[in-house]
């Protein structure tokens, strides 16, 4: 792959990830559907777990197979169910994107999420930080997220 093609792929993937976050938080389900590949997998096993800085171990709760959502429809349903009634802010920050072939890529993105109940609902507030670990596939319509997995640095509640 020549340099310009690689730079274009990185730019496309960076904007794809921005679109993922924006569509999720503005509840643009049509836009969100276009972000994922048909065989997308969303791995949430570590989404409520944080790594203890002294032991280096991931602390519970650590999810199981039920927290791995497989296929385009299952991934979209999971996200929609998770965020539709909440005020959510998901921010992607700096990332490391590696183009591994003409049609495949992977990336790690720093992330922050701020989630709370809607006004009038019981108070609930989560504020987390961590990383997304993604792989991407180039389809006819452009790059799409094939697999995505969240790890946590920090999660506060209250």
Rounded to whole angstroms, how far apart are CA atoms 90 and 108? 15
Q: Contact between 4 and a second copy (CB under 8 A)?
A: yes
Q: Contact between 129 and a second copy (CB under 8 A)?
A: yes
Rounded to whole angstroms, how far apart are CA atoms 47 and 77? 17
- Taking the complex as a whole, the smallest distance from the CB of residue 140 to a second copy amounts, in Å, to 19
Q: Which stretch binds a second copy (CB under 8 A): 36-44, 47-55, 64-72, 74-82?
A: 47-55
Strand order in the sheet with 142-157: 68-70, 36-43, 142-157, 125-139, 104-117, 86-99
**93-122 mask for a second copy (x: CB under 8 A)?**
xxxxx----------x-x-x-x-x-xx---
Rounded to whole angstroms, how far apart are CA atoms 47 and 67? 9
24 to each of 2, 80, 100, how far by Cα in Å? 33, 8, 27
Phi, psi angles (nearest 5°) of residue 9: -65, -45
Q: Contact between 27 and a second copy (CB under 8 A)?
A: yes
Q: Contact between 63 and a second copy (CB under 8 A)?
A: no
Q: Interface residues with a second copy (CB under 8 A)?
A: 3-4, 7-8, 10-11, 14-15, 17-19, 21-22, 25-27, 50-54, 56, 59, 84-89, 91-97, 108, 110, 112, 114, 116, 118-119, 129, 131, 153-154
């Amino acid at each position: 792959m020549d340099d310009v093609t690689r730079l274009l792929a990185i730019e496309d993937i960076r904007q794809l990830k921005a679109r993922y976050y924006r569509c999720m938080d503005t509840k643009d389900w049509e836009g969100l559907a276009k972000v994922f590949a048909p065989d997308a997998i969303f791995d949430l096993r570590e989404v409520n777990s944080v790594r203890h800085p002294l032991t280096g171990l991931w602390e519970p709760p650590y999810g199981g197979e039920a927290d791995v959502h497989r296929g385009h429809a299952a991934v979209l349903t999971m996200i929609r169910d998770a965020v539709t009634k909440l005020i959510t802010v998901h921010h992607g920050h700096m990332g490391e994107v590696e183009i591994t072939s003409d049609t495949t890529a992977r990336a790690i993105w720093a992330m922050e999420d701020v989630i709370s109940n809607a006004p009038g609902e019981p108070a609930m507030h989560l504020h987390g930080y961590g990383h997304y670990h993604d792989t991407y596939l180039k389809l006819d319509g452009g790059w799409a997220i094939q697999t995505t997995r969240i790890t946590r640095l920090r999660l506060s509640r209250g």
